[in-house]
Amino acid sequence: MIEARMWHPVAQSTALQAAPLGVQLLGQSVVLWRDDAGTAHAWADQCPHRGAKLSLGRVCAGHLECPYHGWQFAAEGACVKVPALPEFVPPAGHAARVFGIEEHYGLLWVQLEADPTRAVPPFAAESDGGLRKVLCGPYDVATSAPRIVENFLDMAHFGFVHEGWLGMREATAIDDYTVEPTPTGLRATQCKAWQPQSNVHSTAPAQVEYTYEVVAPYTANLIKVPDAASVAVQGFRESIGLFISPLTPTSSRVWFRLAMADFESPDAKLQDFQHTIFMQDKPVLESQTPQCLPLDVRAEVHTVADKASSAYRRFLKQERITFGVC
Ligand code: FES
Ligand code: CO
């Protein structure tokens, strides 16, 4: 499965403290833990001895200790202690299954199968000093990751799902926009919407222009620029990263990385706006059947307003993605 060679977010960095943390990724149970130096590790959440969940254990002196027979595993995965046999020196094969792990954008990212040619998906706004970053989530959503990406790219739902916020019934027409494939997904530009309350600082309805980019199968971002007159904050602009952990083919964990030209508002104010918007999306997302995203063009019907969605489906097909699609 190609997805196993890609990097996926699994938890907020701050969620991983002294105790091990069990998460799911692509149907695989993963244990996350930090050693004495604070370095994060990601292993299969299954003890190589008798299969107990290592996430039920604890960290002792920089080693992860299994909850069942107390075997201890050092940072690189090797078993270094078998309490039932104090003199025993475990062979190399007595080791935990180790995955790749990195920290980016306030999240822990895991790669289940080593592939040095692949990197954590980019989020350009992260290195933009003019934008303040706030993480929003996690949200557990009972649908596939691709359905969530597609919702993020979709503007035709604004006037219905986000009525009075990102859209209104009096202005539901979608002007033509441009979609181009990129090596990592797609870019949609000149996506325009008339929005009553386009962001936390809106003072009047605004014509907003979006650029969307899919930068990995389950990762997308947008850049949103409202017209100047409608925003109280001078030069306001924002970028939002959508980071999805594909837990199972039909369940996902979602974070938004908000990057905004606003260094005054408390985190909670920025998070509340995004929370309101996503709570409007969630019940509709969870109502869609099938939960997997159908890649066969005949499975659902399409219009030209859906061309970003169609391009996304073609990209998943071309990448031979199988998790969360059908
Ligand atoms: Fe982990 Fe036995 S199952 S030590
Ligand atoms: Co929405």
What's the burial of 141, exposed, middle or buried (CB within 10 Å: 0-12/13-18/19+)? buried
Interacting residues of 271 by C-beta distance below 8 A, sequence separation 6+: 134, 136, 258
* Calpha distance 250→290 (Å, rounded): 9
- Residue 317 Cβ contacting ligand 1 at under 6 Å: no
pLDDT of the chain along its 326 residues, tens only? Answer: 999 999 999 999 999 999 999 999 999 999 999 999 999 999 999 999 999 999 999 999 999 999 999 999 999 999 999 999 999 999 999 999 999 999 999 999 999 999 999 999 999 999 999 999 999 999 999 999 999 999 999 999 999 999 999 999 988 999 999 999 999 999 999 998 888 888 888 888 888 899 999 999 999 999 988 776 666 666 778 999 999 999 999 999 999 999 998 899 999 999 999 999 999 999 999 999 999 999 999 999 999 999 999 999 999 999 999 999 99
- Please state, in angstroms and rounded to a whole number, the distance separating the CA atoms of residues 143 and 251: 5
Structure tokens at 235: 């030069």
The answer to whether residues 213 and 153 touch, using CB atoms and an 8 Å cutoff, is no
Query: Is the distance from the beta carbon of residue 50 to the nearest atom of ligand 1 less than 6 Å?
Result: yes
Q: Would the CB of 243 count as within 6 Å of ligand 1?
A: no
**Does the CB atom of residue 71 touch ligand 1 within 6 A?**
yes
Among 144, 112, 140, smallest CA distance to 28 is for: 112
pTM above 0.90, yes or no: yes
What are the residues facing 163 on neighbouring strands? Answer: 167
Structure tokens at 255: 């974070």
**Planar angle of CA 243, 209, 196, nearest 5 degrees:** 95
- Ligand 1 pocket: which of 49, 55, 65, 72 to mutate (most atoms <8 Å of CB)? 49
Cα 278 to middle of ligand 2, angstroms: 6
Taken in order 17, 20, 21, 25, is the CA torsion positive or negative?
Answer: positive
CA distance 32 to 44: 9
ipTM, interface predicted TM-score of the complex: 0.97
* Separation of alpha carbons 159 and 170, rounded Å: 8
CA distance 101 to 94: 21
